[in-house]
Amino acid sequence: MTNINKEKKGLKKVAVFFELVRTRLVFICGAFSAIAIFLMALLIMVDILGRYLFKSPTNIANEMSGYLLVATIFLGLAHTQKEQRHIAVTFLIDKLSEKFRKRLNIVIEIVTIIFVVWLALQTADSALIDYVNGTVSLTFVRTPLWIPRLLIPVGLCIYAVQLASEIVTQLLSPQAGTIRDENSD
């Protein structure tokens, strides 16, 4: 067996692992993101009803909606990437050859992973500091702030796993395209 075949076989094992982890994590995060949107809408509706019926808004709707918005955004990153729904301006990239486009996409995804992992570490540090210091919100709920802040690095790490999985998939299938066809929707 040649070295190239051994490398491809090893890469395929990595791809299978990433695929298993990625599909489960992305599904769970996408589900949590959808639930967060529903809960946010419910909280806002309850707040509106409270203002209308009792002339008094709820005291937690704004705070909890903010936390749920963070959950929606960061837990939804990986699912959005999986579905190739991030906004992309491709008018220059479309002029490149398919081979160069694929290579460029892999480089961009590697750079994105580096940035996302760096950002995850920074935000995890912030969540850890809040946990150690016992930082809580200034509202009557006194929410421990490390909880909503922890959603950011968790979502970013799962996003990085999704990106890595896509890189491995692209390396294993040289004929696969990398830029979503706008006409495929």
pLDDT of residue 12: 77
Quick: pLDDT tens for 123-174. 999 999 999 999 999 988 899 999 999 999 999 999 999 999 888 888 877 5
Cα-based angle 176, 87, 31 (whole degrees, multiple of 5):
85
Quick: pLDDT tens for 66-75. 999 999 999 9
The per-residue pLDDT of the chain, averaged, comes to: 87
pLDDT of residue 38: 97
pLDDT above 60 for 181: no
**Which among 48, 27, 39 has a CA at the least distance from the CA of 66?**
39
pLDDT above 70 for 180: no
pLDDT of residue 29: 93
pLDDT above 60 for 182: no
Contact call for residues 163 and 81 (beta carbons, < 8 A): yes
pLDDT of residue 175: 58
Q: Using CA atoms, how far apart are residues 150 and 146, in angstroms rounded to an integer?
A: 6
Q: Using CA atoms, how far apart are residues 16 and 166, in angstroms rounded to an integer?
A: 12
Q: Furthest-apart CA pair in the chain: how many Å? A: 77
Contact call for residues 123 and 152 (beta carbons, < 8 A): yes
Cα-based angle 32, 34, 38 (whole degrees, multiple of 5):
110
Question: Which pTM value belongs to this model?
Answer: 0.81
The domain limits of the chain are 3-184
Higher per-residue confidence, 68 vs 176? 68
